[in-house]
Amino acid sequence: MTVRPLCAALLAAFAVPSFVAAQAQHAHVHGQAFVDVAVDGGQVEIQLRATAQDLVGFERKPANPEEEARVSAARKAVLDHARLWRFSVAARCVAEGPVLEVPGAGDAHDHDHDHEGHDDHVAHSDWTVRYRFRCSAPEALRAIESGMFAVFPSLQSATVQVIDATGAREETLTASANRLVLVR
Ligand SMILES: [Zn+2]
Protein backbone atom coordinates (compact mmCIF):
# COMPACT_ATOMS: atom_id res chain seq x y z
CA MET A 1 0.00 0.00 0.00
CA THR A 2 2.20 2.80 -1.26
CA VAL A 3 -0.62 5.30 -1.03
CA ARG A 4 -0.88 5.09 2.74
CA PRO A 5 1.99 7.44 3.65
CA LEU A 6 0.65 10.02 1.21
CA CYS A 7 -2.79 9.77 2.75
CA ALA A 8 -1.39 10.14 6.22
CA ALA A 9 0.52 13.22 5.15
CA LEU A 10 -2.59 14.76 3.62
CA LEU A 11 -4.61 13.99 6.70
CA ALA A 12 -1.97 15.58 8.85
CA ALA A 13 -2.43 18.70 6.75
CA PHE A 14 -5.91 19.03 8.27
CA ALA A 15 -4.33 19.82 11.60
CA VAL A 16 -1.93 22.55 10.55
CA PRO A 17 -3.00 26.16 10.97
CA SER A 18 -2.37 27.12 7.35
CA PHE A 19 -4.98 24.61 6.24
CA VAL A 20 -7.47 25.97 8.74
CA ALA A 21 -6.71 29.48 7.54
CA ALA A 22 -7.28 28.40 3.96
CA GLN A 23 -10.65 26.99 4.95
CA ALA A 24 -11.60 30.18 6.73
CA GLN A 25 -11.10 32.11 3.52
CA HIS A 26 -13.92 30.28 1.80
CA ALA A 27 -16.60 32.67 0.70
CA HIS A 28 -19.70 33.08 2.79
CA VAL A 29 -22.36 32.17 0.28
CA HIS A 30 -25.92 31.55 1.26
CA GLY A 31 -27.15 28.31 -0.23
CA GLN A 32 -23.70 26.79 -0.46
CA ALA A 33 -21.97 24.48 2.00
CA PHE A 34 -18.28 23.62 2.10
CA VAL A 35 -17.39 20.08 3.04
CA ASP A 36 -14.04 18.40 3.58
CA VAL A 37 -13.95 14.63 3.43
CA ALA A 38 -10.83 12.65 4.27
CA VAL A 39 -10.81 8.88 3.99
CA ASP A 40 -7.81 7.07 5.36
CA GLY A 41 -8.28 3.34 5.63
CA GLY A 42 -11.13 2.82 8.06
CA GLN A 43 -11.18 6.37 9.30
CA VAL A 44 -13.43 8.97 7.70
CA GLU A 45 -13.34 12.59 8.75
CA ILE A 46 -15.91 15.07 7.52
CA GLN A 47 -16.06 18.77 8.16
CA LEU A 48 -19.17 20.67 7.19
CA ARG A 49 -19.32 24.44 7.02
CA ALA A 50 -22.51 26.26 6.17
CA THR A 51 -24.04 29.64 6.84
CA ALA A 52 -26.35 30.12 9.78
CA GLN A 53 -28.76 31.55 7.21
CA ASP A 54 -29.09 28.09 5.67
CA LEU A 55 -29.00 26.09 8.89
CA VAL A 56 -31.08 28.30 11.14
CA GLY A 57 -32.80 30.79 8.84
CA PHE A 58 -31.12 33.91 10.24
CA GLU A 59 -27.65 35.02 11.27
CA ARG A 60 -28.27 37.37 14.16
CA LYS A 61 -28.77 36.55 17.80
CA PRO A 62 -32.13 34.92 18.45
CA ALA A 63 -34.52 37.67 19.46
CA ASN A 64 -37.32 35.64 21.03
CA PRO A 65 -38.12 32.12 22.28
CA GLU A 66 -39.31 31.04 18.86
CA GLU A 67 -35.96 31.97 17.31
CA GLU A 68 -34.08 30.35 20.19
CA ALA A 69 -35.99 27.17 19.45
CA ARG A 70 -34.92 27.39 15.81
CA VAL A 71 -31.27 27.63 16.86
CA SER A 72 -31.67 24.61 19.13
CA ALA A 73 -33.36 22.64 16.38
CA ALA A 74 -30.55 23.51 13.98
CA ARG A 75 -27.92 22.40 16.49
CA LYS A 76 -29.71 19.10 16.89
CA ALA A 77 -30.04 18.68 13.13
CA VAL A 78 -26.37 19.28 12.31
CA LEU A 79 -25.31 16.83 15.01
CA ASP A 80 -27.64 14.15 13.64
CA HIS A 81 -24.83 12.46 11.71
CA ALA A 82 -26.96 9.47 10.75
CA ARG A 83 -29.30 11.70 8.74
CA LEU A 84 -26.53 13.80 7.24
CA TRP A 85 -24.02 11.11 6.28
CA ARG A 86 -24.84 7.62 5.07
CA PHE A 87 -22.15 5.12 4.21
CA SER A 88 -22.12 1.90 2.26
CA VAL A 89 -23.80 -0.40 4.79
CA ALA A 90 -21.27 -3.20 4.31
CA ALA A 91 -18.46 -0.91 5.41
CA ARG A 92 -19.94 -0.93 8.94
CA CYS A 93 -19.08 2.65 9.80
CA VAL A 94 -19.85 3.99 13.24
CA ALA A 95 -19.70 7.59 14.32
CA GLU A 96 -17.64 9.12 17.02
CA GLY A 97 -19.19 12.17 18.62
CA PRO A 98 -19.50 15.10 16.22
CA VAL A 99 -18.24 18.49 17.33
CA LEU A 100 -20.13 21.67 16.53
CA GLU A 101 -18.51 25.07 16.48
CA VAL A 102 -21.00 27.90 16.44
CA PRO A 103 -19.51 31.35 16.56
CA GLY A 104 -20.73 33.39 19.48
CA ALA A 105 -22.50 36.64 18.81
CA GLY A 106 -19.22 38.50 19.30
CA ASP A 107 -17.52 36.35 16.69
CA ALA A 108 -19.97 37.13 13.96
CA HIS A 109 -17.86 38.76 11.30
CA ASP A 110 -18.81 41.14 8.60
CA HIS A 111 -16.98 40.67 5.36
CA ASP A 112 -17.46 40.80 1.68
CA HIS A 113 -19.76 38.19 0.40
CA ASP A 114 -20.98 37.00 -2.91
CA HIS A 115 -24.65 36.86 -2.22
CA GLU A 116 -27.25 39.50 -2.59
CA GLY A 117 -30.59 40.38 -1.18
CA HIS A 118 -29.99 40.71 2.50
CA ASP A 119 -28.29 44.00 3.15
CA ASP A 120 -30.46 44.18 6.24
CA HIS A 121 -27.62 42.73 8.28
CA VAL A 122 -23.89 43.21 8.24
CA ALA A 123 -22.83 40.28 10.39
CA HIS A 124 -22.66 36.87 8.79
CA SER A 125 -21.97 33.69 10.61
CA ASP A 126 -20.93 30.21 9.63
CA TRP A 127 -21.35 27.01 11.54
CA THR A 128 -18.70 24.34 11.38
CA VAL A 129 -19.26 20.73 12.36
CA ARG A 130 -16.65 18.00 12.44
CA TYR A 131 -17.61 14.35 12.22
CA ARG A 132 -15.45 11.29 12.57
CA PHE A 133 -16.38 7.77 11.64
CA ARG A 134 -14.62 4.46 11.91
CA CYS A 135 -15.42 1.76 9.41
CA SER A 136 -14.57 -1.82 10.35
CA ALA A 137 -14.80 -3.00 6.72
CA PRO A 138 -13.32 -0.02 4.85
CA GLU A 139 -12.81 -2.06 1.66
CA ALA A 140 -16.60 -2.02 1.30
CA LEU A 141 -16.84 1.76 1.55
CA ARG A 142 -17.81 2.89 -1.95
CA ALA A 143 -19.81 6.03 -1.40
CA ILE A 144 -21.04 8.54 1.10
CA GLU A 145 -24.52 9.92 0.63
CA SER A 146 -25.47 13.22 2.22
CA GLY A 147 -28.86 14.04 3.62
CA MET A 148 -27.94 17.69 4.12
CA PHE A 149 -30.12 18.97 1.28
CA ALA A 150 -33.16 17.21 2.73
CA VAL A 151 -32.41 18.36 6.27
CA PHE A 152 -31.58 21.94 5.24
CA PRO A 153 -33.63 22.66 2.10
CA SER A 154 -32.20 26.13 1.62
CA LEU A 155 -28.82 24.56 0.78
CA GLN A 156 -28.46 24.44 -2.99
CA SER A 157 -25.01 22.93 -3.39
CA ALA A 158 -21.95 21.81 -1.52
CA THR A 159 -18.37 22.16 -2.64
CA VAL A 160 -16.61 19.06 -1.40
CA GLN A 161 -12.86 18.65 -1.05
CA VAL A 162 -12.17 14.95 -1.00
CA ILE A 163 -8.98 13.26 0.04
CA ASP A 164 -8.99 9.54 -0.54
CA ALA A 165 -6.64 6.88 -1.85
CA THR A 166 -6.23 8.72 -5.18
CA GLY A 167 -5.29 12.03 -3.62
CA ALA A 168 -7.25 15.25 -3.41
CA ARG A 169 -10.04 16.41 -5.67
CA GLU A 170 -13.06 18.67 -5.64
CA GLU A 171 -16.63 17.60 -6.21
CA THR A 172 -19.96 19.35 -6.13
CA LEU A 173 -23.00 17.84 -4.47
CA THR A 174 -26.59 18.95 -4.92
CA ALA A 175 -29.98 17.68 -3.82
CA SER A 176 -30.23 15.56 -6.96
CA ALA A 177 -26.58 14.45 -6.87
CA ASN A 178 -25.99 13.91 -3.18
CA ARG A 179 -23.74 10.87 -3.47
CA LEU A 180 -20.00 11.11 -3.17
CA VAL A 181 -18.34 8.17 -4.87
CA LEU A 182 -15.04 7.19 -3.32
CA VAL A 183 -12.08 5.73 -5.15
CA ARG A 184 -10.43 2.90 -3.31
ZN1 LIG B 1 -24.91 35.77 5.47
Ordered per-residue pLDDT tens for the chain, 184 residues: 444 444 444 444 444 444 444 444 568 999 999 999 999 999 999 999 999 999 999 999 999 999 999 999 999 999 999 999 999 999 999 998 778 877 653 344 444 444 444 444 457 899 999 999 999 999 999 999 999 999 999 999 999 999 998 899 999 999 999 999 998 6
Strand order of the β-sheet with 179-181 is 85-87, 143-146, 179-181
Q: Is residue 101 part of a domain?
A: yes
Q: Is residue 114 part of a domain?
A: no
* Cα of 27 from ligand 1 centre, angstroms: 10
Q: Is residue 113 part of a domain?
A: no
* Cα of 118 from ligand 1 centre, angstroms: 8
* Cα of 54 from ligand 1 centre, angstroms: 9
* Cα of 96 from ligand 1 centre, angstroms: 30
Residues with CB under 5 A from ligand 1 (ion): 53, 124
Q: Using CA atoms, how far apart are residues 50 and 23, in angstroms rounded to an integer?
A: 12
- Our CA angle for 115, 179, 141, nearest 5°, is 135
Range of the domain at 54: 3-108+119-181
Domain count, the chain: 1
* Cα of 84 from ligand 1 centre, angstroms: 22
Q: Is residue 64 part of a domain?
A: yes
Q: Is residue 104 part of a domain?
A: yes
